[in-house]
Amino acid sequence: MNIDINFIGILIGAIMASSVPLILAASGELITERSGVLNLGVEGMMIIGAISGFALMVITDNLFFAIIGSMLSGLLLSFIFGFLTQSLITNHVATGLALTIFGIGLSAMIGKDFVGIPGKEFPLLLVNLKERIPFFGPIFFGHSVIFYFAFLLPFVTNYFLKKTKIGLIVRAVGDSPISASNQGINVLLVRYCCILYGGAMCGLAGAYLSLIYTPQWIENMTAGRGWIALALVVFATWSPIKVLIGAIVFGGITILQLHMQAMGIRIPVQFLSALPYIMTIVVLVIISRDSRKIKLNTPTSLGQMFYKEK
């Protein structure tokens, strides 16, 4: 069989593009969780990011405002979560679930008037190189700026956590907020910042979906990607690089199984649809077997409420 090398390049490029929202949301959530906060509202923040980005694009006709606006909306939603869980000391899990339900409902309400409006073309970088270089061209070129940002992000996150003082403080807070507080660290401030950053990244992930990946608004268009991002963080044992690997595996198998379905391979469709979920977990479990490393990367205080003695 003659395999078109260019086709494989395009396939890999498509796989990478489909993993972008997962990488963004999971990297944001990873920082939040590393500070000891479990925000289950990822899906809600993503979908709010998607609708606000799309709505702003339609209203202002400016993609830059749309992107910034989507990040701000994710941030705003995460602020609600932060205020409830950190200042009013509510339960992380319940609050996060409520946030997701709220986000999905609110986005559907805002989105009523935007259904069916076509999106705007998003500027892609280095398109000419994409066509000129075989195989590598479609993989590395002709993507949006957010694509490149997403693939850089896990490495930056890793460097931030391991090599910078602020990263160290984030890890310390996630390890033991009480010790951190006794060391004079403002635990609430650190956790708020991490929550807001996570919210902004989820908003951006949503905007990527509605502005670039499938440029239009469809109700519930995140379709569970927020939950996958959450699962990625846990199964990648809070390591940014493993999150990247997990996201690519998930994106890859999603796209491949679609092709397999299209080719009419005689495997039940339900099994193929389930494959990305199973394989991502299997792969991440296999690459995260070192129990000593898991212990070192897991934020010990994850999901615990913290309040200061007076």
- Positions touching another protein (CB under 8 A) are 165, 168-169, 171-172, 175-176, 178-185, 295-298, 300, 309-310
The structure tokens listed for 92 are: 């992380």
The structure tokens listed for 160 are: 């931030």
Quick one: CA dihedral 46, 47, 51, 52, positive or negative?
negative
Q: How far is the CB of 299 from another protein (least distance, A)?
A: 8
**Is 259 or 295 the residue whose CB approaches another protein more closely?**
295
Q: How far is the CB of 174 from another protein (least distance, A)?
A: 8
Quick one: CA dihedral 45, 47, 50, 56, positive or negative?
negative
Q: How far is the CB of 179 from another protein (least distance, A)?
A: 4
**Is 246 or 299 the residue whose CB approaches another protein more closely?**
299
Q: How far is the CB of 136 from another protein (least distance, A)?
A: 39
**Is 18 or 297 the residue whose CB approaches another protein more closely?**
297
**Is 144 or 297 the residue whose CB approaches another protein more closely?**
297
Q: How far is the CB of 233 from another protein (least distance, A)?
A: 16
**Is 58 or 178 the residue whose CB approaches another protein more closely?**
178
Q: How far is the CB of 82 from another protein (least distance, A)?
A: 22
The structure tokens listed for 202 are: 């989820």
CA distance 303 to 17: 32
The angle at the Cα of 170, spanning 162 to 172, to the nearest 5 degrees, equals 90
Alpha helices for the chain (secondary structure H): 5-34, 42-60, 63-82, 92-111, 127-132, 136-140, 145-163, 165-175, 177-182, 187-207, 225-235, 240-263, 269-287, 291-297
What are the Cα distances from residue 235, in Å, to 10, 103, 125, 134, 156?
A: 28, 25, 33, 35, 20
Count of CA atoms in the C-beta half-sphere (13 A) of 247: 30
Cα-Cα-Cα-Cα torsion 103, 107, 110, 116, nearest 10 degrees, comes to 180
CA distance 220 to 209: 11
State whether residue 215 is helix, strand or coil.
coil
First to last CA, the chain: 74
Q: How far is the CB of 83 from another protein (least distance, A)?
A: 23
**Is 187 or 212 the residue whose CB approaches another protein more closely?**
187
**Is 8 or 296 the residue whose CB approaches another protein more closely?**
296
Q: How far is the CB of 300 from another protein (least distance, A)?
A: 6
**Is 99 or 180 the residue whose CB approaches another protein more closely?**
180
